[in-house]
């Protein structure tokens, strides 16, 4: 863990200008570093969140600092107003909301703010939407064709779904339950900063793009170490049964039930490093009012914009390689190859064309691409079904659909209001075996996936239904500093954000 001392210029870069809070922030942070409780990088991220959300920090050692930040907020707000270089549109561009009756007001407000950006062209809000940073989870935003917003892509760049279908009957789940459980434990690796002791080689690392920028070069070793692994939060690998509800020539699978493996994870520390670096640059280059600052953009005609674009696409390939390694490990251990692999990702930006012919960049933060006949996977919770779908190409929705059920309880509320006994009863009632996991991912923390699917029948067509049976997630974290949007892991010194 890196524990280099935090200096004043480090704090000034993240917004600490007034001397009283600058000194106190440095004192607290360096005490924690001296006590070997966290790394410099993790504390800077934590302190940035405190500056943005001081009301969330009511416990020592950050409570006094949070109070001082609140006392100085008027001066900070005035400073930011004076620095703002881009005015927002007086009113948001109208956008469709799917399943609006079950979407919190904060998510709709965030989407409205995004639609006031001077670079925004169109947008839509999916039925699984909830609040995030900048763009809400479930938000789809089309911007001018040379503008990309790192935080409208998200921290876990190219978070991805991958489904392997095996030519084995679904009753294999019952007959070989213990074997399948052991394969999950043997072939998966979860957790902040975690990776396999002996990672599998991947030809992806031979690509010249790994030498494209200093940021990518610096993150390459971490990417190699974490290849084939998964993060925390809502990331999972699970065995289940998939029912193909009708013959589909494009899919190439006859109607029937099959054994299947489903995984959800992203680009790990590599993607998070790209996101963090270029979000900071965007916020420095594109000054916006305080409430919209996380929607700062980069111009693709600039060096920084091109660097982010290269890094984002490489993170997409890396996320795909992660899943392929997971599925290959499983298939090799099972000694049978899948007859079909289907995958798609969210938390990404694509160059695309709207229904009216306008060329744009489409950001899907927690939303599934759903162009005409495009395959996608929309999971539920650990006890609820997931759906294999085909897009219907709805132009009004910017060719998108939900990426899951969506949260109805925040992580902190789930931990506060739910018990392990309650979760165990729900798991038992559904016949699901859970390996790892925590209360923040309890089935009750999520919306009803079937209601969500009903709210987007004009966006996608269901062609398959996946029922989870054996679910592997990250083990409970032994120690963390809880925050509204992230968590600081004592052992790794990394902050993990699970917005999706």
From first to last of its 500 residues, what are the pLDDT tens digits of the chain?
445 788 887 787 777 767 788 889 889 988 888 877 778 878 888 888 888 778 778 788 888 898 888 776 654 554 444 455 888 999 999 999 999 999 999 999 999 999 999 999 999 999 999 998 889 999 999 999 999 999 999 999 999 999 999 999 999 999 999 999 999 999 999 988 888 988 999 999 999 999 999 999 999 999 999 999 998 889 999 999 999 998 888 999 999 999 999 999 999 999 999 999 999 999 999 999 988 999 999 999 999 999 999 999 999 999 999 999 999 999 999 999 999 999 999 999 999 999 999 999 999 999 999 999 999 999 999 999 999 999 999 999 999 999 999 999 988 889 899 999 999 999 999 999 999 999 999 999 999 999 999 999 999 999 999 999 999 999 986 433 333 334 333 232 333 334 34
Say if residues 276 and 282 touch (Cβ distance below 8 Å). Answer: no
Neighbouring C-beta atoms of residue 212, cutoff 10 Å: 15
Residues 6+ away with beta carbon under 8 Å from 82: none
Taking Cα atoms as reference points, which of 141, 148, 146 lies closest to residue 126?
141
Cα separations (Å) of 462 from 124, 383, 391, 406?
21, 19, 9, 18
343 vs 161: CA distance, rounded Å: 5
65 vs 477: CA distance, rounded Å: 26
Residues 6+ away with beta carbon under 8 Å from 280: 13
Assign 3-state DSSP to the chain and report helix, strand, coil percentages, each to 5: 40, 25, 35
State whether residue 226 is helix, strand or coil.
Answer: helix
The C-alpha R_g of the chain, in whole angstroms, comes to: 22
Specify the long-range contacts of residues 186-189, CB closer than 8 Å, at least 24 apart.
186/333, 187/326, 187/329, 187/330, 187/333, 188/229, 188/230, 188/237, 188/326, 188/329, 188/472, 189/228, 189/229, 189/230
220 vs 218: CA distance, rounded Å: 6
**Cα 378 from chain centre:** 14
Both tokens assigned to 52: 């943005």
Structure-derived torsion over alpha carbons of residues 185, 379, 309, 217, reported in degrees to the nearest 10: -10
Peptide bond into 61 cis (omega under 30): yes
Catalytic hit among 264, 345, 346, 403 = 403
Q: Is the full-model pTM beyond 0.75?
A: yes
Residues 6+ away with beta carbon under 8 Å from 87: 118
pLDDT value of position 74: 52
Q: How would you class 229 by CB atoms within 10 Å of its CB: exposed for 0-12, middle for 13-18, buried for 19 or more? A: buried
433 vs 109: CA distance, rounded Å: 38
Residue showing tokens 């939407």: 129
Q: What is the DSSP letter of 277?
A: H
Question: What backbone phi and psi angles, to 5 degrees, belong to 473?
Answer: -135, 175
pLDDT value of position 346: 95
- List the Cα angle 328/332/334 in 5-degree steps: 115
pLDDT value of position 347: 96
pLDDT value of position 84: 58
258 vs 241: CA distance, rounded Å: 6
Q: Which CATH class is domain 157-266+318-344+368-496?
A: alpha beta
Region for residue 87 given its phi and psi (left: phi exceeds 0; alpha: psi -120 to 50; beta: otherwise): beta
179 vs 267: CA distance, rounded Å: 28
Domain ranges of the chain: 8-83, 157-266+318-344+368-496
Question: What backbone phi and psi angles, to 5 degrees, belong to 455?
Answer: -80, 0
Specify the long-range contacts of residues 109-114, CB closer than 8 Å, at least 24 apart.
110/134, 110/135, 110/136, 110/139, 111/135, 111/136, 111/139, 113/88, 113/291, 113/292, 113/295, 114/139, 114/141, 114/152, 114/295
Say if residues 406 and 130 touch (Cβ distance below 8 Å). Answer: yes
Q: Output the CA torsion sign for 281, 286, 292, 297.
A: negative
475 vs 77: CA distance, rounded Å: 40
Taking Cα atoms as reference points, which of 290, 315, 310 lies closest to residue 298?
310
Q: What is the DSSP letter of 267?
A: -
- Report helix angle 303-334 to 268-285, nearest 10: 160
The answer to whether residue 403 is catalytic is yes
pLDDT value of position 56: 76
6 vs 314: CA distance, rounded Å: 31
């Amino acid at each position: 863990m890196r524990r280099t001392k935090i200096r004043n210029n480090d704090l000034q870069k993240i917004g600490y200008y007034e001397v009283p809070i600058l000194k106190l922030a440095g004192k607290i942070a360096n005490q924690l570093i001296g006590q070997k409780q966290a790394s410099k990088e993790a504390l800077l991220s934590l302190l940035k969140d405190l500056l943005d959300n001081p009301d969330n920090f009511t416990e020592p050692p950050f409570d006094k600092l949070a109070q001082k930040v609140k006392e100085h907020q008027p001066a900070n707000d005035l400073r930011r107003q004076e620095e703002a270089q881009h005015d927002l549109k007086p009113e948001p561009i109208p956008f469709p909301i799917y399943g609006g009756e079950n979407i919190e007001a904060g998510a709709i407000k965030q989407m409205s703010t995004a639609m006031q950006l001077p670079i925004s062209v169109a947008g839509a809000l999916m039925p699984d939407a909830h609040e995030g940073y900048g763009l809400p989870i479930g938000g789809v935003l089309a911007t001018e064709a040379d503008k990309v917003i790192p935080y409208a892509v998200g921290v876990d760049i190219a978070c991805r779904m991958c489904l392997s279908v095996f030519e084995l009957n679904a009753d294999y789940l019952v007959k070989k339950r213990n074997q399948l459980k052991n394969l999950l434990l043997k072939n998966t690796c979860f957790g902040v900063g975690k990776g396999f002791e002996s990672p599998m080689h991947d030809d992806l690392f031979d690509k010249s793009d790994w030498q494209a920028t200093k940021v990518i070069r610096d993150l390459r070793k971490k990417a190699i170490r974490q290849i084939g692994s998964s993060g925390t939060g809502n990331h999972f690998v699970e065995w289940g049964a998939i029912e193909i509800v009708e013959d589909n020539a494009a899919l190439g699978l006859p109607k029937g039930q099959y054994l299947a493996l489903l995984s959800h994870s992203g680009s790990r520390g590599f993607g998070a490093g790209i996101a963090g670096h270029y979000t900071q640059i965007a916020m420095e280059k594109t000054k916006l009012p305080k409430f919209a600052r996380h929607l700062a953009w980069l111009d693709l005609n600039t060096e920084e914009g091109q660097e982010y674009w290269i890094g984002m696409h490489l993170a997409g390939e890396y996320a795909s390689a992660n899943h392929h390694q997971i599925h290959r490990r499983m298939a090799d251990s099972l000694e049978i190859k899948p007859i079909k692999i289907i995958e798609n990702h969210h938390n990404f930006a694509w160059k695309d064309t709207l229904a009216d012919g306008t060329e744009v960049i489409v950001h899907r933060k927690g939303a599934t691409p759903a162009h005409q006949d495009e395959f996608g996977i929309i999971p539920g919770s650990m006890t609820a079904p997931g759906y294999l779908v085909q897009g219907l190409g709805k132009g009004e929705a910017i060719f998108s659909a939900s990426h899951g059920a969506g949260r109805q309880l925040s992580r902190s509320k789930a931990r506060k209001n739910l018990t392990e006994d309650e979760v165990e009863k729900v798991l038992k009632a559904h016949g699901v075996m859970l390996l790892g996991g925590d209360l923040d991912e309890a089935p009750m923390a999520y919306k009803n996936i079937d209601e969500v699917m009903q709210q987007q029948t004009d966006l996608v067509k269901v062609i398959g239904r996946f029922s989870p049976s054996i679910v592997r997630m990250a083990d409970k974290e032994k120690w963390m500093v809880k925050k509204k949007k992230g968590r600081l892991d004592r052992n790794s010194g990394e902050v993990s954000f699970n917005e999706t």
